[in-house]
Structure 1
Amino acid sequence: MDYRISARHPGRAVTYTAKTEEAALAKYEELVADGVPFEITDADGVVVDDIDLEERIDARGEA
């Protein structure tokens, strides 16, 4: 599932795309560490956070 990450870097807005939950989680952690405000949405437009991403990774592993 693709994830859209809308980040608001100082002076510019940037949109990233992550193809997997792992990639989205890595970008989440990077943006948090840099103090950049952002929002992640999945392919259905649902806003997700790190807990949601980790749950989806775990659920996929259990399937």
Structure 2
Amino acid sequence: MRVSRQLVEKTEDALKAGGLPPLAWYDVLHELAEAGESGLRPFELIDRVLLAQYGVSRLLARLEA
């Protein structure tokens, strides 16, 4: 688990240095793309990503803006 955490941290740092969105955005966007035209309801998205409910809600609000 420690290696996984380090990999995520390094990836997050690289994304930030490149001026790109956080890794969580890509996770959410991937799940939405996989869902296709029908999309996902927020509670379905929460079940599919590694974010807490409040994190998904905040992220969706930022993506919609």
Work out which of the two has the higher radius of gyration on C-alpha atoms and give 1 or 2: 2
> Hey, which of these two has a bigger chunk of strand by percent?
1
TM (norm. structure 1) is: 0.31
> Hey, which of these two has a bigger chunk of helix by percent?
2
